[in-house]
Structure formats: structure tokens, C-alpha cells
Structure 1
Amino acid sequence: MKDRKLWINIAIILCVSWLISFFYLGNLPLLDPDEPVYAETALEMIQNQDFISPRIYGEFWYDKPPMYYWLVAGAFKVFGVGEFAARFPSALLAALGSVLLYLAGRKLFNDRAGLLSALVLATSLEYFYLSKAAVTDITLTFFLTGALLAFLIRKNYLFYACAALAVVTKGPIGVVFCGAIVGLYLLFTGNIGLLKRMKLFSGGVLFSAIAVPWYWIMYYYHGMDFVDTFLGFHNVTRFLQPEHQSGALWYYYIPVLIVGFFPWTAFLTQAFIGGLRNKGQERNYTIFLVIWASVVFLFFSLSQTKLVSYILPMYPPLALLVGWYFDKAWREKRSSVLKWSSIILAILVVVLEAGLFKAGGVLAAQLVPLVKVTAIILFLLVASVWWLSYRINFRSVFVANVIGMIFFTAFLVTQMLPVLAPSLAVKDLVNDFKQYYDGQSPVYVAKFYRPGFMFYSGMPGIELKSDELQKAVQDKAGKSYFIAQKKYYENLPPSIQGKIKLLTIVEDKALFVYEAN
């Protein structure tokens, strides 16, 4: 009976994950610039038959370790080169991550808490978004989650293996998080003696056997150029110096978390405080989860380079906390939990819809009617949650949130994102370019669009700084093609405009040809 329940719950999780992560996975073009970078690098691994040294535009590329490139290259071999294959590893590991959370939750707490936790993770807004993205964040989160949950259930060798795979996915952050979170937990709970039972020597050998070889080979072939670029710039420098203006905002991740964990943000504060105050036999587990989430949040808040996706590794512990807390409130029939969460959910929906309406008005007029439909979907979600909370029906409140997110995310990917795709991806412009290109003239491509241009055209192009477009055009002799931001094209002086033939404009991107006298 227990095995039957186990497999039924796994089937539920995989079904929800398919609806959230796999549905419409390959229907949208790769979004500039990040998704094409990973897809193109994996493609060049296959073309060069070199699976050690990542390349892009034919040149060595030291941005990230190879794990996601390997996974995408494997997907290209199985499914063929395209958007679906580029995103398949993220969608697959997102689904497996939810199953992993269920298996851990049922062991740490109970079967229902594990199931609730898995569904919370799968349906949270940012997890959904990144499960459909050809970027490294889901892969890193999967291996970090595997490592830290393995530590909790005393699977020491699994802890070291998953930590090593995290290092092969995104670098030293795998060691930093595992070491900091486990170390703080042992200090906080006074369990330093656990170190003696963690098989440090043999575990260290296993970790090194998995994590070190790629780095050693890269150093052997590329020397200090690899060390300075990968470790020096992409890790140390980006932590200490902002790559984007948002790095100066200390509160950057507060709104990111509030929106990214939607709709479960409605339970988050109660669950977090409940985890800290927990006095039961599960106290050590909830304290570990609180430390895990806090370390990730604080680390990236201190980092001067900030991106929305960076805090994804804190979502699994938060999902476990919410799953545990919801199950506990359910068992104890604590109606106040539903009351307050329904109020918070209503506030969140108002804020989210206000943001969508504002964004719709700025990005595309076609979005406004679609945003109104999302308002209806979310209003129905809030209304049903309020009614079911009034009836103190915990099961139905939870199911309403899950079903509401399935409809909401499906509408986003099938209706709203296709409207935005031409402004977020260069694919349509590349299709136009192929019709106009003479096959021999040089092509200058704005840096932001270059990865997508390379992936969809097979041509590297010549990198162009968009804000230096005027100088770039004036310096060219003969016939040249340009792909640049529309605003920079429109600001070119009349003397240059007269020598330009505009071929097409797609949203914010201009394709034109310049022929010097």
C-alpha cells in the first residue's frame, strides 16, 4: 500500500511538472542573450568534437564549467538541434528536482508534507520560468539540493558527489554553499561532532575525483588565461563589482523573492517563523532549511552582480518549509493560517497585476487585453481560495493554488510570451536577414544579439557596440550589413542615413545595409 501511494504521488508530481515545465517547451525562440549562448556553445562542442574546452564563435569560452553544455549537447544528439532540446535539460531536472523534494520531505517529515513541498516548488513562478530556460540555474539548484538533502539524511557519499557536480555546473559556488550551510548548521545546533561521521577523507577523494579533472585539464591546456577569466573575472570580480546597475540595490532580491515564490509567498512568512520556533522532533530539519535559504539569500544580496535567477537555490528549502508548515496547520486545523494567507494572496495578486499592466503598456499594446485575462484567472484563484479558506478546507485551498498556477503559466507561455518573443529574441530578424544577405559581405552584430544571430544563422558576425554604431558605420568601406538596436539606427545623422538601405525592423531591432562610395 505504501509503495502504491509512493508511485501515485510521484505520478502526480510528474504530471504537474509536465504541465508546468514541458508544455510548449520548444515553441518559443531562444531569448537573447543568455539562452543562445548555452545552446550555441553546446552546438560548437558537437561541431568541434571537443567536449572539454567550451567555445563560442569558434573561440574558447571560459564563462561556465561544462555540465549544462554537456547536457544540451546530449539533448541535441537525441532530439535534434532546436529550442526544445536546448531547454530539455532544465525541464527534466526541474521535474526530477520536485520528485527529489518529495522523497526527502516524506523521509524528513511525512508523505503528505513531501508531496505538498514538491508541488509548491514545481508551481512557484520563478521555478516555472527557469525550468523553461536554457540556462544553468535549474541544473545548479538540482545538484545543490541533492547535496544538502543528502547531508540531512546522512547519505555522505551522495553529499560529496552532488556537491562535486554542482562545482562542475557553476564553479566554486558549489563548495561555498555546501560548506557554509553545513558549517553554520553544525555550529548553530552544537553538532560539530557530526564531522567525524561525515567520511571527510574518502568523501574528499570522491569529490575531487568528480570535480577536479575538468579544471585540471583546462588549466593544463589553457593555463592562467583560464584561471584569470573563469575564477578571476566570472567569480571574484563579478562578486565584488556590479556588472549591472542593480548590483547597488541591497534590497534587490526582496521583490524578486516575493514575486518569484508566488503564489506560495502567502504562506512564506508564517512557515519561516514556524521553522525557527519549531520545538518538535523535526526542529533540526527546519533549522537547517532556514539556514540554507538564508545563506543563499544573504550571499547573493552581498554580491555586487545581481540577476533574478541567482536565488533559485533557496526555493527548495522554502518549498520544504511551506510544505511542512501547511501539513502541520492542516493536521492541527489552524484556520488562522488560511485566513491570513488568503489576505496576503489577494494583496500579491493586486501587486502582480499592477506590474503586468504597467509592463504591458510599455512593452506592447497587444499585451493589455491579455493582461486582463490573467487578471481574471488570478481573480478566480483568489476568490476560490477565499471561499475555501472560509470553509476551512485545507486540501481544496492547496489544490486551488496548484490548478490556478497551471492555468496562469499555460496562458503566459501560449498567449503572452509569443507576443513578446519578437522583442526578446533575434530569430525573426535572422530569418529576414537570410533572405537579404548576399553571402559574402561582412555582417556587424550588436553584442546583445550576437549569440542568437550565431545560433540561428550559423555565422558569428562581427561584434558591434551599439552605442558606437555611428563610428562603426563611418569606418567601413564597401558593403556591410548591420544588426543593431532600432534607437541607435534612428539616431544616425542624415549624412549617413542617405547611404543606408533599411531592410527590416523587428520590434527594437534594425537590419540595414551600408554601402560606402
Structure 2
Amino acid sequence: MPHRSDRLAAEPGLIATRAAPRVDGMPALAPALVVLAFALLWFGTLGMRHLLGPDEGRYAEIAREMLSRGDWVTIRYDGLKYFEKPPFHMWMTAVSYALFGIGDWQARLCVALSGAVGTAVSMLAAARWFGARAGLMAGLVLAGAPMWNIAAHFNTLDMTLSGAMACALASLLLAQHPATTPAVRRRWMLACWAAMGVAVLTKGLVGVALPGLVLVLYTAVTRDLALWRRLHAPAGIALMLLVAMPWYWLVARRNPEFLRFFFIHEHWHRYTSTVHARTGAPWYFVPLLVGGFLPWLGLLPGMVHAVTRRAGVAPAAGPDTPFQPALMAAVWALAIFGFFSLSGSKLPGYIVPVFPALGILGGVALAHAQEHAWTRQVRAMLALGAIGLLASPVVATLDANNTPNALYRHYAIWAALACALVMASAAAALWLLRRHGRMASVTGYAFGMLLAFSTALLGHEAIGRSASGIDLVAPVGRVLRPGMPLYGVGMLDHTLPFYLRHPLTMVAQADELAFGAAQEPQKWLPTIDAFLDAWRHGPRAVALLSPQAYAELSARVPMHVIARDWRRVAVSNFAFAGELATRRLVSAPPATPAATPLATL
């Protein structure tokens, strides 16, 4: 009887029949395993670090108060009216709390889902125009881009807006494909308009102004005025208004002061002036763009080539100018980048909406890249990882932003580990390229970049844990009771009130709650003297102060220390059980950073 291997060699068709099915050089099961691995890393790390101020704590607490009060129209922060942003992000977070409880990962679920949805629709649009391979590559580029994956794990409005904007871009691209039937085109365009409505409900007029700017610039370059007839504007505008306008109407009806503050102060003044003290040079976003797209910068020539060679363009069936998807993606990225570069107010997250367009173009470039070009990209990242590893001890020398050097020394270990993972990922990508081909190489490289930058973010818990105040929650919670005033003396603590499930009453300095304090002045104490009077003669209360403020005020009124860390001291105006033990624990306080003297408040 012939040996099995001899029989298989003699019957090559049997090999093809019995061999495991393969997709692009990989087993057919591999895509499902890849998606599972990315999903576990993407969502599984949401609760592995505590919230950071100001943004993460602010939006987590607003959503908590929204759910607690049952008022989904008038946004409040620490009990005061807060009209800087619309409510969609906070609505979704409050729903997350209602479904899964209140906590860190629940507060970040909205942004993680927004990033995942933005990645999925970008893949769909890229696959429709440039082929399935380009679609897969686009998803890998986005998942491995540090600006995108970090923003998807940081509780701010920027990623929620970017997810909605990615849906608008992808829906527009899908609607304009020449093979799309009129009925399907209408549905995708209505989806585009609905996504813009969600964007307006997330961060205001930029949700419609930015896509409008992109459309105007695109038609100015291509002279494709026929595109405007394919937008289904009457029905689309009606749908967008149906999504966005009910809340604006309700909040303005209940709060007449809303319209002027929101549209004049928060839109016009924010963009045209430095009223929010968030200034930056016109090139402010350049290093952020470079760093945020660092693992894929080698694709830039291929991305430019995709635009200039009109990738994906098919001859128009009629007299209309053919739609250019690569050019639309490029205009999207450049217009949004330019818009915010000219703004008088700048924050890093403002340019996150450009990344879905970059991901689509990067996917096209990767799908057509030569092997030697990909090899150069991976080797360059290997070298950058090595440089970062050698430079990581510098982190241990930092002592900035009022953060003790000891915390930076702990974080330096995580920074070194992240750089080592970058090197390991690049090395694995080279090995996979030789053994299994480019798709496996790009997949391993993208997963490795996501793992490396997730590690860098998770390691920030070395600094963020104490900054969040989580270690004060247990001792303060044993003293603080529902309904008891919790004063923030000269400081707006963005995270500890969330963990305590107890809003602050501001004292002496309203900070970003100045608008709400002006509308409801009875809900805060505008002077230190008013606070001292309430502290002496009012009900039992707890206060949060900077160490310097505690040193000044404890000489004037009795203060019982509950707990303290390097940035805050929690005190009560009454004696409490276990106070003597607490005093022993805090008798040797850590070195404290400089703080604003109370005399200036």
C-alpha cells in the first residue's frame, strides 16, 4: 500500500481539496481571529486606567449628573448650567451608565465605539472604490495610527465627533460610486446628512461647516457642479434638522441665555480670538499630525500618487465629470487641517477628524505599494523604536506640569516598554513578510502599533492614578454624606467628584463654570470670606483645597484632614471617627507643587 505522502504527491488535486482554505495568503479563519484580537485590545483596555482631568472627568461627571437628575435637556456640571457643548456624547455616556453601571470603561465606551464605527465605515468606503484589499488596509492603517487609537480611548468629544464625521465622509463616497443605483444613492446620502446631524449634536456647527467647506473646495478644484444635484439636499437637510434641532429648540426655550452664549461665545469667539487661552502657532498641528500618523508616514508618496493618478475613478456614464474619491479624501484632510490651523483656539484633538481620510488614502497606497517600499517603512519604524528606547530614560528626569518627578520615573519604564514593542512589531512584520506575505505583515505591524501605543497610554496610570484622586475616594467617602456640601476652594477638581458621585460647590474661582455661576449665583461662594463664614456657621461639609490653600486657611478656621495627595487636601469642618489615625497617616505630607495663592483669588 503506498505511503499517504506519496499518494498526495501523485494527486495534487487532492492537496487543493483537503488543504485549509486561504485568503490572500492566510488561512480563511485568520480574518475572524484578527478582528477578535483587535476588538479585545480595543475594548478590553477601556477600564485599565483612571480618568484624567479635565476632559475625561468633566464629561464623565456631566453624564452622571444627567442620569441622576433625569434632565436630558439642560446640561449641568457640578450642578451649574454648562452650555459649552451639545449633549450627544453625554447622552451616550449616560445610556452606557444606565446599561452597565457607572465606571471608567463605561465613560469611555462612547469614544471606543465611535472609533470602531469610524474605522468600519472607512473600510467599507475604501473597499467599494478601491477594492477589498484596500479596504482591509485602510482599517489596519486607522487602527495602527496613534492619534486615532489613543483618541478612541480618551473620553472627549473629539472622537465622538470624528466617528460621526467619518460616517458622513464614507456615506458620501458610497453614494457617489458610479455603480450605485438612484435608490441606494439616496439612502447613502440621507445617511450622510443624518451623520452630520449627529455631528452638530456632538460639537455644534463644525458638524455641518466642515463637510460644507470640503464640498465647496472639492467642486472648486474639479468644477464638478453636478455633484451638488446628487446630494439630495432638500430631504437631507430636513433629516439633519430633525436629528439635531429638537434639543437646540428645547434647551433655548428653557434657557433663553443659551443661544448667545453657545453660538457667539462658544463658536465665533472661540474660533476668532484667544478668549479660551488655547493659543498656538499656525503650525501647531504639524507635529501632532506627524506623530499621530507616524507608523504610516512612509506611505505619503503613495497617498499623493493615488490622488494625482485619480485612483478609483471610472469614466462617467453621461456628460457629468467623474467623481474622484481619492481627491475627495485628500481635500477632506487638508481642509479640516487648514481650518483648525487658522483658528485662534487650538487643542490636539481638533484634527482627529482628518484621520479617516488619511486611513482611506493609506489603504490605497498600501494595496499598491511595492514590497521594497513597505520594507523601508518597517525598517524605519524599527529604527525609530530603537531611538525611542534609548531616549526613554529622559522621561525619568522630567518634573513638569506640577507633577512630581517620582511619577515620571515610574512612567519611564512604560515608555521604554512601548518603544520596545514598536521594535518588536517592526521585526515581526519583517519576519511575516518573508514567511506569509504582505497582508500578514501589515496586519501584524498594525496590531503591534496598536499594542505599543495602548501600552504607552495604559502606563500613564503611573501618573494618572494619583491625579485622578481615586486613592482619596475611600477615606472621603466614609465622611461625606449625600446632600452634604463638597466645596472646591479655588480649584475645579474634574475627577474626584465623579468618583465620589458628589458634585462640587465652587468657591472663590468659578473657572470654566463662570457662565453657570453667573446664571445661578446662589449655587456657589464667590469669595473666601463667604466660604469661611459657611465653614464656621453652616452645615457639616467637606472641602477640597490645594496644599497651599490648606496651609493658609487652616490657620484661620478649624479643618480636620480626611486625606491628601500631592495635588489636593480633603478636609471637613467637623470631627469624624478615625480622625486620629488619619492624622498619623498624613503627618508627613509629600512635597507639594506650587499653587495659586489665595490672595489672588
Relative to the length of structure 2, the TM-score reads: 0.75
Match in the other structure for 1:424: 467
Q: Distance in 2 between matches of 1:244 and 1:266?
A: 36
Q: CA deviation at 1:493?
A: 5.7
The alignment of Structure 1 onto Structure 2 pairs a total of residues equal to 504
1:383–1:243: structure 2 CA closer, same or farther, 3 Å change rule? farther
TM-score normalised over the length of structure 1: 0.86
Taking a change above 3 Å as real, the CA distance of residues 388 and 270 of structure 1, as seen in their structure-2 partners, is farther
Shift in Å, 1:409? 4.0
Of 251, 256, 262, the residue aligned with 2:283 is 251
Contact 1:338 1:392 in 2 (8 A): no
1:449–1:119 Cα change, 3 Å: farther
Aligned in 2, Cα 1:439/1:289: closer, same or farther, shift over 3 Å? closer
Judging changes above 3 Å, is the alpha-carbon distance between structure 1 residues 361 and 245 closer, same or farther for their aligned structure 2 residues?
Answer: farther
Aligned pairs for 1:364-513 within 5 A: 364-385=408-429, 393-412=437-456, 416-437=459-480, 442-445=485-488, 449-464=492-507, 472=528, 476-477=532-533, 478-479=535-536, 481-486=542-547, 488-489=548-549, 492=551, 496=555, 502-512=561-571
Query: 2:373 is aligned with what amino acid?
Result: S
How far apart, CA to CA, are the structure 2 residues paired with 1:270 and 1:226? 47
- How much does 1:10 deviate? 7.5
Percent identity over paired residues: 24
Residues 71-94 of structure 1: CA distance to partner in whole angstroms, max 9, x if unpaired?
A: 112111110122222211221222
Q: Does 1:338 align with 2:375?
A: yes
Deviates more, 1:258-267 or 1:210-219: 258-267
Matched, 1:50 2:71: yes
Select 1:191's aligned residue among 213, 224, 231. Answer: 224
Aligned-residue offset at 1:368? 2.6
Deviations 1:202-226 (CA, angstroms, capped at 9, x unpaired): 2222222222222122222212x10
Task: Say if 2:97 and 2:103, in contact at 8 Å, map to a contact too.
Answer: yes
The answer (yes or no) to whether the contact 1:473–1:514 under 8 Å persists in 2 is no
Deviation digits for residues 93-138 of structure 1 (CA, Å, limit 9, x no counterpart)? 2222222122111101110110111121123212222222222222
The answer to whether residue 368 in structure 2 is matched with residue 328 in structure 1 is yes
1:295-350 per-position Cα deviation (integer Å, ceiling 9, x unaligned): 11111111121111111100101011111101011xxx3523532x2354246435
The worse-fitting range, judged by mean Cα deviation, of 418-427 and 89-98 is 418-427
Bigger drift between 168-177 and 76-85 goes to 76-85
Question: Contact conserved, 1:422 with 1:506, CA < 8 A, in 2?
Answer: no
Q: Alpha-carbon deviations, 1:147-178, whole Å to 9, x = none? A: 12212222221221111111111110011111
In the alignment, what sits opposite 2:520?
none
| Residue type at the aligned position of 1:316 | P
* Letter aligned with residue 273 of structure 2: Q
Alpha carbons of 1:467 and 1:221: their partners in 2 closer, same or farther (altered >3 Å)? Answer: closer
Q: Structure 1's 508 and 356: CA in aligned 2 closer, same or farther, altered over 3 A?
A: farther
Task: Show the counterpart of 1:34.
Answer: 55
Pair 1:229-2:266 in alignment: no
Cα deviations by residue, 1:32-76 (Å, 9 ceiling, x for unpaired): 221222222222222222222222222322121111121112111
CA contact (8 A) 1:484 1:511 kept: yes
Equivalent residue letter for 1:291: V
Q: Is the 8 A contact 2:432 2:441 kept in 1?
A: yes
Task: Write the deviation string for residues 399-445 of structure 1: whole angstroms up to 9, x where unpaired.
Answer: 3312322432453455x133222233133223332245588875432
Deviates more, 1:227-236 or 1:162-171: 227-236
Question: What amino acid does structure 1 have at the position aligned with 2:381?
Answer: L
Task: Decide which structure has greater helix share.
Answer: 1
RMSD of equivalent CA atoms: 3.5
CA distance in 2, matches of 1:347, 1:240: 41
Report the CA distance between 1:28 and its aligned residue: 2.5
Q: Give ranges in structure 2 of 5+ residues lacking alignment.
A: 1-20, 176-187, 314-322, 399-406, 512-524, 575-601
Q: Partner letter of residue 511 of structure 1?
A: A
Determine the structure 2 residue equivalent to 1:220: 253
Residue 388 of structure 1 and its aligned partner are, at CA, apart by 6.4
Q: Secondary structure in 2 aligned to 1:32?
A: coil
Secondary structure of the 1:153 match is helix
In the aligned structure 2, how far is the partner of 1:2 from the partner of 1:68?
41
CA contact (8 A) 1:13 1:98 kept: no
Matches within 5 A, 1:233-382: 233-242=265-274, 247-267=279-299, 269-282=300-313, 284-329=324-369, 333-339=370-376, 341-342=377-378, 344-346=380-382, 348-349=384-385, 353=389, 357-362=393-398, 363-382=407-426
Matched to 2:63, the amino acid is: A
> In the alignment, is the contact (CA less than 8 A) between 2:389 and 2:420 conserved in 1?
no
Other structure's SS at 2:50 match: coil
Q: Is the 8 A contact 2:311 2:325 kept in 1?
A: no
Gapped regions of structure 1 (runs ≥ 5): none
**Is 1:90 the counterpart of 2:111 in the alignment?**
yes
C-alpha distance in structure 1 between counterparts of 2:471 and 2:573, whole Å: 21
CA deviations on 1:3-42 (whole Å, 9 max, x unpaired) are: 9x9x979746642442332113123222222122222222
SS at match of 1:247: coil
Question: Which secondary structure does the structure 2 equivalent of 1:444 belong to?
Answer: strand
